[in-house]
Amino acid sequence: MRRTVTNSRNTASVFIESMVCFGVLLIISEILITLSPQAQSSNVSSSGDGNSSSNNILVHHNMVRLLADMVRDRLYDAVNLLEITSKEPAVQNVSFANFITKQYMGIPDNMDLPKRKVAQDILARDKDFGSIYFVTPRADTYIGEPFPNQKQLPRLNYADRDWYKGVTATKNTYISAVFMSASIHRPATAIAIPVYNLQDDTTTSKTNKHISGYWVGIVDLRSIYQSIRNLNFTNGERVLVIDHNGTALVDSLPSSAVNNNYNNKDLSSPELKDFNYLSSVKAVTKGNAGSIFETVNGTKVLAIYQPIKMGNRSWGVILTEPEQRSSLMDIR
**For 189-221, what is each residue's pLDDT tens digit?**
999 999 998 775 555 555 557 999 999 999 999
Residue 133 pLDDT level (bands cut at 50, 70, 90): very high
Whole-structure pTM over 0.85, yes or no? no
Using DSSP's 3-state secondary structure scheme, residue 211 falls into: strand
**For 162-190, what is each residue's pLDDT tens digit?**
999 999 999 999 999 999 999 999 999 99
**For 48-107, what is each residue's pLDDT tens digit?**
455 655 667 788 899 999 999 999 999 999 999 999 999 999 999 999 999 999 999 999
Report the chain's terminal Cα–Cα distance, integer Å. 38
Q: All domains of the chain, ordered by start, with CATH?
A: 11-76+223-331 (3.30.450.20), 90-220 (3.30.450.20)
Closest CA relative to residue 139, chosen from 155, 159, 125, 153: 159
**For 140-158, what is each residue's pLDDT tens digit?**
999 999 999 999 999 999 9
The dihedral of CA 277, 160, 80, 142: what is its sign? Answer: positive
**For 7-56, what is each residue's pLDDT tens digit?**
434 444 544 454 445 454 444 444 444 444 444 443 333 344 556 556 67
Contact 191, 173 (CB under 8 A): yes
Helix spans in 6-88 (H): 11-35, 37-41, 49-86
pLDDT value at residue 268:
37
